Chain A
Amino acid sequence: MDWLTMDLIVARFNYWVYIVLMMIGLYAMIAKNNYMKKLIGMAIFQTAIMLFYVSIGTKKGASIPILDHHGGEHGAGSAHIAGEAALKVGEAAAAFPEAAAAAGTTNPLPHVLMLTAIVVGVATLGVAMAVVQKINDQYGSIEEDEVLKRIKL
């Protein structure tokens, strides 16, 4: 029992949160009758995935991923090295002394990916709301059963 609570729930708390949120969103998308409520479900569903991504990039006690270097020429130099062809991972670590410091910082990549996903989510929501408005203009309702009744007529 102790193993269950510690290993399955506490250690994987972030995954539980995302799964619960995702199921709430999925339930609303499938079971709700009102189109706006379906869209709210969709937003929750997408947000759950963003939380999942953000949580996998963080570490306990890690700092923000900003390089602490003095002198401006360094940035240009590393960009030049990155442009060179065929860098293996090991060589890349040697080329970037900062890579050693990566252990102490959070992983920024999932966070950056989610910036894109947020934009996509907003755009999807916008398109979907425009479509709901069109449905409302056409059938005079945004309740699914009402709309279906009017389609059958």
Chain B
Amino acid sequence: MICWECFNYTYFETDVETLKELKTGKDGMIIQDSMFDDYNYSQGMLRDNLTDVVQYCINQNADVLDHNLENRYLNCARCGSKKVTKPYSTWTSRRHLPIEQEILKNHQEFKELRKERFNADQLPVLWKSK
């Protein structure tokens, strides 16, 4: 990801949801991370949600931008700008053939694949029981 205001490509901010545990007792209320056995569920959830948001922004790219071309989830941690996108687009008019041409080009390979599946139970016998 890159910020189009300051060209920072390292530090970003996002809002994620985590879980806290409330323990009530005679001494009052204690707020702490939620533990299941020795697994810290609060920290695990925070990391998972952060990874999810970042991967979603990387995969969706243009879909996470609003009409002002501002990212709805991430913002730059240096300048605070929300103009954060992927630094490049994977789409190019020269990289891919039209799908019809691509199918024709790979037709022989597809036929072999289907043939392989059709003859899957007729493989040559390598040994015979006496």
A and B: interacting chains: no
Task: Name B's A-contacting residues (CB within 8 A).
Answer: none
